[in-house]
C-alpha cells in the first residue's frame, strides 16, 4: 500500500496525523497477501508499505524496491503486486539497448527500469498481472498502473492531504479519518459508508462494477489503466489497453488449421512463461476443457505437477470424478478437497472479510477451500479463468443465434410479441424468450449474472431509484464495439463487467486469502491478440461453445473432457437454503442492521417462498445475505470473523 502527500510544502508526520504509522497499521490487515516479509519506506512526500509473497528471486527482490541508473541508483522507489512473465526478455532488451544494470534476478526491476528508459508507455510491453506504484524522487512524480484485464486489485482514496492506494480496502481504511472510535469496522478502522448506487448495481449484477466500491469513501483503479500524480498533486488517468474484438473470416480448411495451430502455440507459450518461478507451481483442475488444457500444458514444464480440485458431496454438484479421470489421463498427481454445508455457513463471514467488496458468487466458497488445500503443497497455482470471455465459452453467447427469428422481425412486430409475452403466466414456456427477443442486445445483455429485476428491486431496496440502471455500466462499453457480431460484443461487455467484477475478484481474493498466488495463462495479452480475431463461427455453434479452442486442444486435452459441458465449481445453495441452512439465513436477515437499505420483510418472504418450493430464490437470497454480512463486518463491526494468522513456510 502507499500514500502520497499532495501538498508539496508539507512533510510526512508534521501534521496531526502520522501517515507512516497509519500505513504500518494497515499492512497487517492484508498480511495474508504476503506473509513472507513486510517492508516499508518513506521520504518527505511518500510512504510505501509492502507484504511480500516471494515466488521469484526469493533471497533478494525485497520491497519496497529501490532502483536507478548508475548516476542516481536510488532515484526510484516501487511497490509491485503480481508477476511479470516476460521479465527475462525485457531485462535482456534493456541491457542490450541502454546498458541497463540490475541488482537482483527478479521481475520487479524490469518494470521500473523500463519506466526510466521509456516512460509511461512501457506498461504496454508488460505481460503479466500487476498493480504497481513508482515514485520518482527526482521529479517528485508518482506513476502507477493496473494490468490489462484486472487480475490484481488496486483501491484508491482521496484524502485531505493526499492520495492513498492499497491492494485491499481494509488496509486503505487505516488512512481514512476516524471521527468516532466507538463506531468501527471489525478491523478497528473507519467504518465503510454504503454507496447506494453501488448497492443497487450489486443487487442486479451480483458484484460492484468498477470503478465503484460498496464503500463510498473508496474507488478502484480500473483494469488496463495507468495514472500519474504530478508534483503539484494533480492526478491524471489514461487507458493503455483497449481490448477490442476484430473477428476475421476463416473459410478454408487450411485457414482453420492455421488458426487452431496459432491458438495451440500461443497457449503453450503463455503457460510456459506463467510457469516461471523459484517455487513449486501447481494447477487447479475441474472437469472442463479450460483448466484441463492448462494443467496438460503445464505438465510439459513440470513433469511432477500437482493438481487440485474441489466439490460438494451432493450428486450433480461436483466434478471430482471427472477431474480425477483427467488427472490420470494427463499423468499428474491429484488432490481433492470436499466441502460440506457446515464449511459453507461457518466460513462465509470470513470469506466476505477477505473479499472487501461483496461478491455474491457462491463458487467463492469451494474456491477458498481448494486454495487452502493447495497452499499446503504449493505456493503458486495456474487456473483457467478468462477462457470463456476470450474464446466464447458461455452458453448465453449462443442466444443471438437462437433469438434471430425474433430479433430479425420488424420493430412493431417484436413489440407485439413482447406484449403477448407479458400476459402469459409466470413459468409459461417461451415467456422469457419473447421478452428477450423483443429487446435489442444492449437492453437484454449486461453480463452472466442477472439477480434482481427492476420490479423486484422496487419492493426490496429502500433507496431504489429508477434512474439507476445496468445501462449506466454497459452503454459506454457497447459504444466501443459497434460494427462487430453480437457474440463479440457480448464478450467485450464481459471483459469490462463480469470478468473483472466477479471472476477475477473471487480468484484473487480467495487464493490470496491463503497466501497462494494464482496465475491465469488465458489472460495474457498475446493470447488475447489471437483470440480477438476469431470469427463467430469458430466460437459458438448450435451444439458447442469455444469451438476453435476445443479444436486447438485436441492433442492436449483427454477426449472425455474435450466436448464436455462447462460446470465449474457448482454450489448447492438451492438445497441448503430450503433445508438445513434456512435458520442460519433467517438469523442473518433478522439480526443485520441494514433496515435503512433493505426491507427485511421482503427478504424473509423470499426465503419462506423458497423453502416452500414456490420458486427458486436462492441466488437472490444469497446476494442479500452476502451484503448483510459485509455491512455487519465493515460498517457496524458487529460481526468480527476470526482471521487466521498467516504462518507459512517462506520457501516451497
Name the binding residues for L-glutamine: 107
Q: Which residues are annotated as a binding site for ATP?
A: 383-384
Alpha helix locations (H) across 356-463?
364-374, 387-391, 399-402, 404-407, 411-423, 431-437, 441-444, 454-457
The closest alpha carbon to 141, from 27, 265, 232, belongs to 232
For residue 162, list its beta bridge partners.
5, 159
The closest alpha carbon to 621, from 449, 451, 367, belongs to 451
Q: Which residues are annotated as a binding site?
A: 107, 383-384
Helix (H) or strand (E) holding 336: strand 333-339
Q: DSSP 3-state assignment of 198?
A: helix
CA distance 118 to 134: 14
- For the sheet containing 333-339, what is the strand order? 333-339, 306-312, 281-284, 380-382, 517-519
Under 8 Å between Cβ of 155 and 218: yes
Under 8 Å between Cβ of 335 and 308: yes
For residue 519, list its beta bridge partners.
382
Under 8 Å between Cβ of 295 and 382: yes
Under 8 Å between Cβ of 183 and 191: yes
Contacts 24+ apart (CB under 8 A), 323-331: 323/285, 323/286, 323/287, 325/558, 325/560, 326/285, 326/287, 326/292, 326/295, 326/558, 326/560, 326/561, 327/285, 327/295, 329/558, 329/560, 330/292, 330/295, 330/296, 330/299, 330/558, 331/299
For residue 461, list its beta bridge partners.
598
CA distance 545 to 542: 8
Phi (first) and psi of residue 224, to 5 degrees: 70, 20
Beta strand pairing call for 219-220 and 306-312: unpaired
The residues near 134 (Cβ < 8 Å, ≥ 6 apart) are 76, 77, 78, 111, 112, 115, 142, 143, 144
Four-CA torsion 615, 618, 624, 626, nearest 10 degrees:
180
In the chain, the N- to C-terminal Cα span, in Å, equals 26
Cell of 153: 486489485
Query: What single-letter DSSP state applies at residue 394?
Result: -
CA distance 353 to 260: 43
CA distance 346 to 609: 24
Helix (H) or strand (E) holding 294: helix 289-299
CA distance 428 to 276: 54
Cell of 385: 479463468
CA distance 292 to 560: 11
The closest alpha carbon to 187, from 634, 649, 646, 645, belongs to 634
Distances from the Cα of 543 to the Cα of 399, 436, 537, 556, angstroms: 12, 21, 12, 21
Chain centroid to CA 459: how far?
30
Q: Taking CA 528 as the corner, what is the angle to CA 310 and CA 495, rounded to the nearest 5 degrees?
A: 65
Under 8 Å between Cβ of 129 and 83: yes
CA distance 502 to 446: 13
Query: What single-letter DSSP state applies at residue 501?
Result: I
Amino acid at each position: 500500500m502507499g500514500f502520497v502527500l499532495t501538498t508539496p510544502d508539507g512533510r510526512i508526520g508534521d501534521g496531526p496525523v502520522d501517515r507512516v504509522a497509519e500505513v504500518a497499521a494497515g499492512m497487517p490487515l492484508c498480511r495474508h497477501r504476503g506473509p513472507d516479509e513486510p517492508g516499508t519506506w518513506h521520504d518527505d512526500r511518500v510512504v510505501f508499505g509492502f507484504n511480500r509473497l516471494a515466488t521469484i528471486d526469493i533471497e533478494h527482490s525485497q520491497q519496497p524496491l529501490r532502483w536507478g541508473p548508475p548516476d542516481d541508483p536510488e532515484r526510484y522507489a516501487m511497490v509491485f503486486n503480481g508477476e511479470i512473465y516476460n521479465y527475462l526478455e525485457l531485462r535482456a532488451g534493456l541491457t542490450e539497448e541502454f546498458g541497463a544494470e540490475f541488482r537482483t534476478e527478479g521481475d520487479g526491476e524490469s518494470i521500473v527500469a523500463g519506466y526510466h528508459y521509456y516512460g509511461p508507455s512501457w506498461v504496454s510491453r508488460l505481460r503479466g498481472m500487476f498493480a504497481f506504484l513508482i515514485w520518482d524522487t527526482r521529479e517528485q512524480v508518482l506513476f502507477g498502473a493496473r494490468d490489462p484485464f484486472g487480475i490484481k486489485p488496486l483501491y484508491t482514496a482521496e484524502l485531505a492531504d493526499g492520495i492513498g492506494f492499497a491492494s485491499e480496502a481494509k488496509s486503505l481504511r487505516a488512512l481514512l479519518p476516524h471521527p468516532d472510535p466507538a463506531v468501527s469496522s471489525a478491523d478497528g478502522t473507519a467504518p465503510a459508508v454504503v454507496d447506494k448506487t453501488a448497492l443497487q448495481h450489486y443487487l442486479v449484477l451480483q458484484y460492484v462494477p468498477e470503478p465503484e466500491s460498496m464503500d463510498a469513501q473508496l474507488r478502484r483503479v480500473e483494469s488496463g489503466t495507468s495514472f500519474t500524480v504530478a508534483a503539484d498533486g494533480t492526478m491524471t488517468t489514461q487507458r493503455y489497453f483497449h481490448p477490442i474484438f476484430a473477428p476475421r473470416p476463416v473459410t478454408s480448411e487450411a485457414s482453420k488449421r492455421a488458426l487452431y495451430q496459432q491458438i495451440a502455440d500461443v497457449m503453450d507459450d503463455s503457460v510456459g512463461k506463467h510457469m516461471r518461478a523459484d517455487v513449486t507451481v501447481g494447477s487447479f483442475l475441474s472437469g472442463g476443457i479450460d483448466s484441463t488444457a492448462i494443467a496438460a500444458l503445464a505438465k510439459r514444464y513440470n513433469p511432477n505437477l500437482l493438481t487440485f480440485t474441489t466439490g460438494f458431496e451432493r450428486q450433480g454438484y461436483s466434478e471430482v470424478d471427472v477431474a480425477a479421470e483427467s488427472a490420470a489421463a494427463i499423468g499428474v498427481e491429484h488432490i481433492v478437497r470436499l466441502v460440506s454445508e457446515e464449511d459453507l455457513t461457518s466460513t462465509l463471514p470470513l470469506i466476505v472479510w477477505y473479499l472487501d467488496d461483496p461478491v455474491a458468487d457462491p463458487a467463492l466458497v469451494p474456491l477458498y477451500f481448494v486454495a487452502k488445500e493447495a497452499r499446503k503443497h504449493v505456493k503458486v497455482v495456474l487456473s483457467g479463468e478468462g477462457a470463456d470471455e476470450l474464446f466464447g465459452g458461455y452458453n448465453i453467447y449462443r442466444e443471438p443465434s437462437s433469438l434471430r427469428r425474433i430479433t430479425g422481425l420488424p420493430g412493431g412486430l417484436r413489440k407485439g410479441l413482447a406484449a403477448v409475452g407479458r400476459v402469459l403466466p409466470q413459468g409459461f414456456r417461451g415467456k422469457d424468450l419473447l421478452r428477450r427477443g423483443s429487446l435489442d442486445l444492449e437492453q437484454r445483455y449486461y453480463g452472466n449474472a442477472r439477480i434482481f429485476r427492476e420490479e423486484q428491486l422496487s419492493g426490496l431496496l429502500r433507496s431504489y431509484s429508477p434512474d439507476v440502471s445496468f445501462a449506466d455500466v454497459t452503454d459506454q462499453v457497447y459504444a466501443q464495439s459497434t460494427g462487430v457480431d453480437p457474440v463479440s460484443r457480448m464478450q467485450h461487455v464481459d471483459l469490462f463487467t463480469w470478468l473483472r467484477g466477479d471472476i477475477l475478484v473471487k480468484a484473487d481474493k480467495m487464493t490470496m486469502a491463503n497466501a497462494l498466488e494464482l496465475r491465469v495463462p488465458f489472460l495474457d495479452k498475446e493470447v488475447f491478440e489471437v483470440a480477438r480475431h476469431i470469427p463467430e463461427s469458430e466460437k459458438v455453434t448450435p451444439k458447442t461453445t469455444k469451438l476453435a479452442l476445443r479444436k486447438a486442444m485436441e492433442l492436449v486435452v483427454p477426449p472425455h473432457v474435450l466436448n464436455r459441458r462447462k460446470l465449474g465449481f457448482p454450489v448447492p445453495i438451492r438445497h441448503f437454503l430450503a433445508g438445513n441452512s434456512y435458520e442460519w439465513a433467517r438469523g442473518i436477515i433478522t439480526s443485520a442492521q441494514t433496515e435503512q437499505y433493505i426491507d427485511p420483510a421482503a427478504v424473509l418472504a423470499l426465503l419462506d417462498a423458497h423453502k416452500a418450493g414456490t420458486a427458486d430464490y436462492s441466488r437472490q437470497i444469497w446476494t442479500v445475505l452476502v451484503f448483510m454480512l459485509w455491512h455487519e463486518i465493515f460498517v457496524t463491526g458487529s460481526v468480527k470473523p476470526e482471521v487466521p494468522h498467516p504462518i507459512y513456510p517462506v520457501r516451497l
